[in-house]
Structure 1
Amino acid sequence: MFANVSTVFTAAVDDELIPKNPCKAPSVRKPRSDPKKLVPWTSKRVLAVRDALPDRYQIVVWLGAGLVLRQGEIFGLSPDDIDFDASEVHVRRQVKLFSSNRQVFGLPKGRKTRKVPLPDAVADAITAYMTAHPPVEVTRPWMTIDGKPTTVSLLLTTREKGAMNCNYFNTYLWRPALERAGVPDLRENGCHALRHFFASTALHEGETIKAVSEYLGHADPGFTLRTYTHLMEGSSERTRRAIDTAFLGEDEEGDE
């Protein structure tokens, strides 16, 4: 509402009806909007969308919901980044798309690489996927359109053996899958919903905000906390249970 009023005043200034936009006065504070609480997908919805995708692209859900990768990081993942013995994945790059529809390899968002845990179920899915769809070497410039050509063995590629294009994937694969799964085609139901599922699941199981923030690749754990704090409302119950257990245990020890 504030933005709409300010736009009206700006138009009035342009039309010389008023000298200044009062909404921009130093004494006027822009009201803070209440952030919309994030509602994570259920595991049932995650699996429904996965199964609604063509077989070749179902791995996207495994990597997004199971490894908390961003879409570009999913498209840029190489088998060389996966350490099956250590049960971890090194997130080293993403596929970026410029306005000219040209792709490049680049560092993850914030130019920050990271490591994420590799659950057994996801490891098995990746192994099965590589058997059915062998990795393909793809060459793209590094960081900029005229950057150094870099060749990477990619886990997920197009049928034409190129890097996935986010515009194509979202329009012709993801949105039809949402429709088939009965999921509304809304902004909050993009691929990033898979990351929210990972975060909410990890927090529900007692993982720390600091760890979840690192897995997400957030620069500020405070941002992670602000985004997901409402999903941790059961923490007070866990605290009460922990204190009760401590005192009950002390009483039991005293009775011996």
Structure 2
Amino acid sequence: MGHVQDRWFRKVPDPSKPGKHLLEPTARNGVGKRYRARVIGPDGGEISESFADGQDKAAQNWVDTTEAKITLGIYVPPKAAKARAVVFLEPFGKTYLEDLDVDEASREIMEMRFRKHIFPHLGQEEIPEIKASHLRSWDSKLRKADLSDQYRHTLFMNLLAALNAAVDDGLIDKNPCEGKSVKKPKPTKKKIIPWPEARIWSVRSHLPDRFQVLTDLGAGLGLRQGECLGLGVEDLAPDRGKVTVCRQIKTVRNQLVFALPKYEKERDVPLGDHVLAAIKDHMELFPPVKVTLPWGKPGGKLVTASLIVTSVRGLAVRANDFDRNYWKKALKAAGVPCGRYENGMHDLRHFFASVLLDQGESIKAVAEWLGHADPAFTLGTYTHLMPSSDSRTRGVIDGLYSRRNGPETAHEDPTA
């Protein structure tokens, strides 16, 4: 069994109290480090470490931790640990991102986050030397740079995942992001306030005729922006009253590509008569164009779709260009605030969800039509928009007691 030796004092029997002990100074009292922690190593030899005065708890923790590592077979002798190759966070992180099993658009976004907000602060640190204090200082700098709680949370989770990979590779024994003194940023969840109907029609009217149908696809079908831009004639099934959402347009490495919808999840969405009519009217004015793009990433397999919405030159529309050149201008013309992260096309999806929930549609159905991975996310996002159940509950209970009392007493005055 490991133990901690106090080299400044030794226990001696207390002559005045049988069975008790006193602390008697040793010849080393006040010289050097006070505590020596000792354990028996895997080869039967002694392993030890010295600790200063006041660090008796740290010494005991070293004993407990070292014995646990020996038991688990993961103990690395200090000399062997020093012999490990020096690995800095930046080159390790770049390799980690290259090998990560994600789509290219997600990889590009993560590379940008590390390049702009992680590597400049921590990239030149040796991974085993990254401490909780480094992470607290890093997050403090992110706060001073006015990064949002949501974005800081995302950056923290990205770094945590990379350092988990370092743990798996044996570069470190514990992820410093999980230290007790490291406070993980918590994203602030804002309640969604759906657009009023009048705003939908006002913004639509201020868009060029070529792009007005995008509001119908967003507000009437609940499609994401990339799904609106990637919708093809072949995805419409008017005879079944359905639209199959099986494609979106994304920008990867500055090149447009086709890809599966978010979460790689295809879905069918109900197609109402009025939305269908708006799509048909649009296609009469602006006939669909066959557009060929690589699938998933630049250089991927070429895929062709007859896109309903295209640019003036008959090309696929780049979301950023549309937002800058048309959407924000329509918002301004309609008197709608248009900050960087407010009142984007995504608000049309919120309107779609709010209308359905207000009419009593189930969370499960709305989640399926929106393409959410988990209905619990839909519930957490839109639960405040669901109609109050107070009156419905009162009616159900009143009906229950009416049936119990019978027809003769069902409507008697309870105060009589």
TM-score, with normalisation over the residues of structure 2?
A: 0.54
Give distance in 1, aligned partners of 2:360 and 2:282: 30
Give distance in 1, aligned partners of 2:222 and 2:143: 43
1:237 alignment partner, SS class: helix
| Residue in 2 that maps onto 1:109 | 262
| Residue in 1 that maps onto 2:195 | 41
Greater Rg by CA: 2
Asked if 1 retains the 8 angstrom alpha-carbon contact of 2:245 and 2:268, the reply is yes
Q: 1:197 to 1:25 in 2, by over 3 A?
A: same
Deviation at 1:192? 0.2
The yes-or-no answer on 1:119 pairing with 2:268 is: no
**Matched-pair identity in %:** 48
Asked if 2 retains the 8 angstrom alpha-carbon contact of 1:6 and 1:23, the reply is no
2:292 alignment partner, SS class: strand
Q: In the comparison of the two structures, how many residue pairs are matched?
A: 243
| Residue in 2 that maps onto 1:77 | 231
Q: 1:8 to 1:154 in 2, by over 3 A?
A: closer
Equivalent positions of 1:101-180 (< 5 A) are: 102-180=255-333
Deviates more, 1:219-228 or 1:233-242: 233-242
Deviation at 1:232? 1.8
Deviation at 1:107? 0.5
Deviation at 1:78? 0.7
Asked if 2 retains the 8 angstrom alpha-carbon contact of 1:91 and 1:113, the reply is yes
Q: 1:23 to 1:43 in 2, by over 3 A?
A: same
Which of residues 339, 352, 356 is equivalent to 1:202? 356
Deviation at 1:98? 1.5
Q: Give the structure with the larger helix fraction.
A: 1
Letter in 1 for 2:329: P
Superposition RMSD on alpha carbons, in Å? 2.7
Deviation at 1:235? 2.6
Q: 1:28 to 1:96 in 2, by over 3 A?
A: closer
Give distance in 2, aligned partners of 1:36 and 1:9: 21
The yes-or-no answer on 1:225 pairing with 2:393 is: no
1:64 alignment partner, SS class: helix
Give distance in 2, aligned partners of 1:63 and 1:225: 23
Letter in 2 for 1:130: M
1:89 alignment partner, SS class: strand
Letter in 1 for 2:249: V
Task: State the structure with bigger RCO (CA 8 A, min sep 6), 1 or 2.
Answer: 1
Give distance in 2, aligned partners of 1:251 and 1:127: 56
Asked if 1 retains the 8 angstrom alpha-carbon contact of 2:217 and 2:223, the reply is yes
Q: 1:65 to 1:55 in 2, by over 3 A?
A: same
Structure 1 unaligned runs (5+)? 12-21
Asked if 1 retains the 8 angstrom alpha-carbon contact of 2:358 and 2:387, the reply is no
TM-score, with normalisation over the residues of structure 1?
A: 0.86
Letter in 1 for 2:336: V
The yes-or-no answer on 1:7 pairing with 2:140 is: yes
Give distance in 2, aligned partners of 1:36 and 1:81: 34
Which of residues 246, 250, 257 is equivalent to 1:92? 246
